[in-house]
Chain A
């Protein structure tokens, strides 16, 4: 037990010692820290963009795909009759979970943002809207149109696919851009760490020569650099991520007005993703420094 403790102490002391064989480098260390922090900060937003776009695409796809709108365009005196006829048809249509005609009050609320609260809706030939919710099977839109054409001449069925598709496409593209940005940031971190590590290795060529002379293996020398740059990337990215997350939290809350901006944040489980950024930066630095160190060491005597 005592021997074990002694060994452990020696091991820790040895590790600390191994870190010391490479001289500390103040200025470049700060630069590496700063670059890692800046990249992590950007990554927080790129990631938020990807996740938000993904959520948006899912929501639009999900909600809109399961609903359709039936518009009854008819003279005011026939509007109620045609609406009732349409509702009857919908009740017997396969795949329709529920159908509900919007009331005047509903429609007034919908139009209010455009025409103001003082609109006298009953004097205008505003079409009656019927909200159709589909069940999981989905309905046959073409068949329904045929039946409606025969019995309710004023009915126009809109299954939303016309304007839903480009929106979902756009959201999907946005999500892809977000992920590409995240990947580019990771690649930039790798490039930056590689450059910094290579500069450090070149600056310490004499130290490396001394270490080789006294019998240090390449792995031992590489470890000293790898540990250093991994820690720098990790701590820099942690700071950047922290600042980025604070910025996210402080972003003006506009939850009353549903829109794209309110979605640009992390929700629920997604808060885990930005916390992975420092770990990822550390992993990238670990791999990049390892590759650079081994390549440089092979070229030195």
Chain B
């Protein structure tokens, strides 16, 4: 699905990430961990084509990102659901419209009219917030709305960057259960987090691999977690 081969990335002042090789197989569940500023978000961005590697190759669904034009990237984003660290919505549209935004922009707006949306909203527990505007939502509601938006296109891969960053433990457990459920439906999931207890809680439910960024490289973390 997503393949990184000897990838390096630098923002200009020295390399942030170097010599990273990584392969996200279909149906796999990965955590990405590491200290703040280690490059978790950068690695995520490399995985959905928001950044181009300064060295090495990133292949998304078999295609090298360097060979893709902006429309190809847009097509790939429809197959990759992304939950951002600081979730951005269109603040002038209600929650339900934001959730089906991926359908709208890909010309499949008609599909939003059927029952799937209601089902999705109740799945993330936002049924009675469907008409609220994004600024009115709490942190947890924003994260769940973002997750709903990320999966509405039924993507092959879900990338979540600190999805539990600013919500309480109970809410993060709930969000995690949603992600585990998605993984059981066959989606590839990659979650960036520095919350080790979250990783432990997950491991009880699903075969998850933990990748750790240290010294600019990604290592497979051992069983010590």
**CB within 8 A of A207: which of B78, B90, B102?**
B90
CB-contact partner of A214 in B75, B92, B101, B109, under 8 A: B101
Contact status A21-B104, CB under 8 Å: yes
| A271 contacts the other chain (CB 8 A) | no
Which stretch (A7-15, A183-191, A236-244, A254-262) binds chain B? A7-15
Chain B residues near A209 (CB, 8 Å)?
Answer: 88
Interface residue? B30 (CB, 8 A): no
Count of chain A residues with Cβ under 8 Å from any Cβ of B? Answer: 29
A107 at the interface (CB under 8 A from B): no
Determine the chain B residues whose CB is within 8 A of the CB of A206 once the complex forms: 88
Q: How far is the CA of A75 from the CA of B207 in the complex (A)?
A: 126
Complex contact B88–A23 (CB within 8 A): no
Contact partner of A215 (CB less than 8 A), chosen from B78, B89, B93, is: B78
Given contacts A13-B109, A217-B74, contact A23 B82 (CB under 8 A): no
For B, the interface residue count at a CB cutoff of 8 angstroms equals 28
Q: Which of B76, B107, B110 contacts A6 (CB 8 A)?
A: B110
Given the complex, which residues of A lie within 8 Å of B89, measured CB to CB? 210
In angstroms, Cα B88 to Cα A207, docked, is 8
Distance between Cα atoms of A216 and B106 in the complex (Å) = 6
Considering only CB atoms, which chain A residue lies closest to B78 in the complex?
A215
Complex Cα spacing A10 to B111, Å: 9
How far apart sit A18 and B109, CA to CA, in the bound complex (Å)? 9
For the complex with contacts A13-B110, A297-B70, 14 further pairs of A-B residues with Cβ separation under 8 Å are: A9-B110, A14-B109, A18-B105, A21-B101, A21-B104, A207-B90, A210-B88, A210-B101, A213-B84, A214-B149, A215-B74, A215-B153, A216-B74, A298-B70
> Chain B interface (Cβ within 8 Å of chain A)?
50, 70-71, 74-78, 82, 84, 88-93, 97, 101-102, 104-107, 109-110, 113, 149, 153
- Nearest 10 A/B pairs, CB to CB: A10-B110, A216-B105, A215-B77, A215-B78, A14-B109, A23-B92, A214-B102, A217-B74, A210-B88, A17-B104
